[in-house]
Structure 1
Amino acid sequence: MDDEYMDRVLAGDTKAYRHFLTNYKDMAFNIAVSIVKDDHYAEEIVQDAFMQAFSGLKSFKRTTSFKNWFYRIIVNESFQRLRKLKKNRFIQPVAEVKDSVVDSTQEGQSEKIALVLHAIQALPANESLALTLFYQQENSLKEIVEITGWSMANTKVILHRARKSIRTHLGID
């Protein structure tokens, strides 16, 4: 279905690009946030990535899906922004995380889910990205390799470390 909309955009129907905005904006934002850990920067990254994808659509060779190609743009933009920011990330001890999350749980969201989400935010960018792509987006390992540019072995190692880190953050280990 994406191919049909790409053809329409390439034929000059710029309104057809809304299909991509509608279908990919939320997950693109989640991927960006998992890397830069900041909503404001993530929004900017997503906007920039959509502009890049729109302007680069003519050169898209369609050897992969639009989704994977676009998410690769998001990943690259996010890591590029992260390098520019060069912020030190402070990881709170689990006890402090529990206290802060209990106060900020949203309606309908259990404390356990909030703790897991907070723990994911505390992970290094590559681990957080791996978990987001694998569990939230339900991408296969092959798709994660395609999106991130990591090797298959590196992807497996990062995912393993991410799982281990989550258990450690949650005090399960």
Structure 2
Amino acid sequence: MDNLYIKKVLNGDTEGFRYFISNYKDLAFSVAISVVKDEFWAEEVVQESFIKVFQKLKSFKGRSSFKTWFYRIVINEAFQRLREEKKQHLYQNELQETELSSVENNLNGMTPEEQTILVQEALKQIQPKESLVLRLFYLEDQSAKTIADETGWTEANVRVILHRGRKNMLSVVNRLLCNELKTV
């Protein structure tokens, strides 16, 4: 059946690609999550894998089954995602340590009111999802599970947004503090 749909897609019937998505998405997700260990990342891996399969379908030679070829792409994408995250994590740790010490030094000389104003301004400058999750988590003391229930996102997605929000918030606060020091 796979070969029939491969021919359809290669002959220009892009709707025929839905066959592959419907038949392989669950197993692809299962493979991806076993490697990346995070639902949000696994969803990204599966999506990227389907895009690559669609783009490279012409290069499928049929030496193995389509399923084997497809899963090899999913596995490669998953491990690529891990490598990228590892590089990013190492870079961010170095950057965060530098930024955190700078922020801590500058915050010590501020009044609580000035700190509140700084936080409110920083929340305005980050992505809306990140701002929402940070407000709910830190200012409203809600758990990631509660936030997921309220927003309709997965708990893993909330945790990813929370992680990214912290990093972006730290960068914005540091930038605001640096700008404040320049004007003084």
- Length-normalised TM-score, structure 1: 0.49
Q: Which has the higher contact order (CA 8 A, sep 6+)?
A: 1
Query: Which has the higher Rg, Structure 1 or Structure 2?
Result: 2
- Length-normalised TM-score, structure 2: 0.47
Hey, which of these two has a bigger chunk of helix by percent?
A: 2
